[in-house]
């Protein structure tokens, strides 16, 4: 099997490399990919949408349908992780740790969560006291990562950035919190329901903005029709429409990243994990 696979791979690679010989030269401005549609985007974007970042304009405006369904693909991925893994049966075996002394209480068979005082904390089975340096550094770092993520979303029209990137950065800050402290800290801060609602609301914002354009007299996703609803210069209405859409994308991506991470590391029980 391995040998057969190797032969298949070599043949395919040789075929692809043979095809490479016919490609246009590296960086050739006259290559077919750079001559037809992309020139139109580059020359007309600022004039038509007032958005300097062409990538964002193409992503959220010219190819808005594509991005809408990409967002729903991501939503569906989060939903799939939830449906495949989520396990609502609680573990009966619990561990509590007395904070001042470090004595660990092992409860083997309890139906309910024990009511313990503030001196005890509910810990994981393979509990390792977190490192002070790592905890402190992450505690300082996480707010800055999140502000940077918000900047990337909000400034996506004018500089590199956008909803997908900002959402991923924000999601990674949540994952960093779960890694540096423990999973319970993250799940307590952001409830599962809130994450699910965020993911759905993100997609809803996108589709909602696209749909509002229809009663205003335009086509689906034609942000130009939003002008009566939005303050400011009517020429910038497309930029504002894109910003709204990007916020929706960012919300959905952020929530889905966290949902995927929490479900996979805890095998769906949301109690303990990485």
When asked if residue 127 is in the footprint of another protein (CB under 8 A), the reply is: no
Name the one range near another protein by CB under 8 A: 13-21, 131-139, 141-149, 189-197.
Answer: 13-21
Instruction: Compare residues 165 and 180 and give the one whose CB is closer to another protein.
Output: 165
Question: 230 near 240, Cβ under 8 Å?
Answer: yes
Binding to another protein, residues 205-244 (CB under 8 A): 235-236, 239
Question: 129 near 139, Cβ under 8 Å?
Answer: no
Question: 214 near 171, Cβ under 8 Å?
Answer: no
Work out which of 110, 159, 185, 219 binds another protein, going by CB under 8 A: 159
Distance CA 153, CA 214 (A): 26
When asked if residue 147 is in the footprint of another protein (CB under 8 A), the reply is: no
| Angle (nearest 5°) at CA 185 between 179 and 190 | 105
Place of tokens 């990485």: 274
Work out which of 5, 102, 117, 228 binds another protein, going by CB under 8 A: 5
Instruction: Compare residues 76 and 197 and give the one whose CB is closer to another protein.
Output: 76
Distance CA 165, CA 167 (A): 5
Instruction: Give how far the C-alpha of residue 144 lies from the chain's centroid of Cα atoms, to the nearest Å.
Output: 17
Shortest CB 119 distance to another protein, Å: 35
Binding to another protein, residues 252-271 (CB under 8 A): 253, 256-257, 260-261, 263-264, 267-268
Shortest CB 254 distance to another protein, Å: 11
Question: 124 near 272, Cβ under 8 Å?
Answer: yes
When asked if residue 146 is in the footprint of another protein (CB under 8 A), the reply is: no
- Which letter does DSSP use for residue 143 in this model? H
Shortest CB 241 distance to another protein, Å: 15
Binding to another protein, residues 70-99 (CB under 8 A): 70, 73-74, 77-78, 80-81, 84-85
Shortest CB 35 distance to another protein, Å: 9
Tell me the site size for another protein, rule CB under 8 A: 71
When asked if residue 2 is in the footprint of another protein (CB under 8 A), the reply is: yes
Distance CA 175, CA 141 (A): 13
Question: 238 near 49, Cβ under 8 Å?
Answer: yes
Shortest CB 115 distance to another protein, Å: 31
Q: What would the two tokens of residue 247 be?
A: 């916020």
Name the one range near another protein by CB under 8 A: 55-63, 136-144, 181-189, 222-230.
Answer: 55-63
When asked if residue 42 is in the footprint of another protein (CB under 8 A), the reply is: yes
Distance CA 195, CA 71 (A): 15
When asked if residue 45 is in the footprint of another protein (CB under 8 A), the reply is: yes
Instruction: Give how far the C-alpha of residue 30 lies from the chain's centroid of Cα atoms, to the nearest Å.
Output: 36
């Amino acid at each position: 099997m391995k040998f057969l696979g190797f032969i298949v791979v070599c043949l395919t690679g040789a075929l692809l490399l043979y095809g490479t010989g016919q490609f246009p030269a590296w960086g050739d401005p006259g290559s077919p990919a750079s001559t037809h549609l992309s020139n139109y985007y580059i020359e007309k974007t600022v004039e038509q949408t007032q958005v300097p970042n062409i990538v964002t304009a193409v992503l959220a405006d010219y190819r808005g349908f594509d991005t809408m369904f990409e967002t729903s693909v991501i939503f569906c991925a989060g939903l799939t992780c939830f449906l495949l893994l989520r396990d609502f049966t609680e573990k009966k075996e619990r561990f509590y740790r007395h904070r001042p002394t470090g004595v660990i209480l092992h409860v083997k068979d309890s139906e309910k969560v024990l009511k313990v005082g503030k001196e005890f904390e509910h810990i994981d089975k393979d509990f390792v006291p977190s490192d002070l340096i790592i905890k402190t550094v992450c505690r300082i770092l996480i707010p800055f990562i999140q502000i940077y993520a918000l900047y990337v979303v909000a400034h996506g029209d004018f500089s590199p950035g956008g909803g997908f990137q900002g959402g991923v950065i924000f999601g990674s800050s949540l994952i960093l919190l779960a890694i540096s402290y423990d999973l319970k800290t993250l799940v307590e801060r952001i409830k599962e329901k809130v994450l699910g609602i965020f993911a759905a609301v993100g997609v809803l914002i996108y589709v909602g903005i696209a749909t509002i354009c229809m009663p205003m007299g335009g086509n689906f996703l034609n942000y130009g029709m939003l002008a009566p609803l939005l303050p400011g210069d009517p020429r910038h209405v497309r930029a504002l429409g894109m910003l709204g859409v990007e916020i929706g994308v960012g919300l959905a991506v952020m929530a889905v990243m966290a949902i995927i991470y929490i479900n996979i590391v805890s095998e769906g029980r949301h109690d303990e994990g990485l």
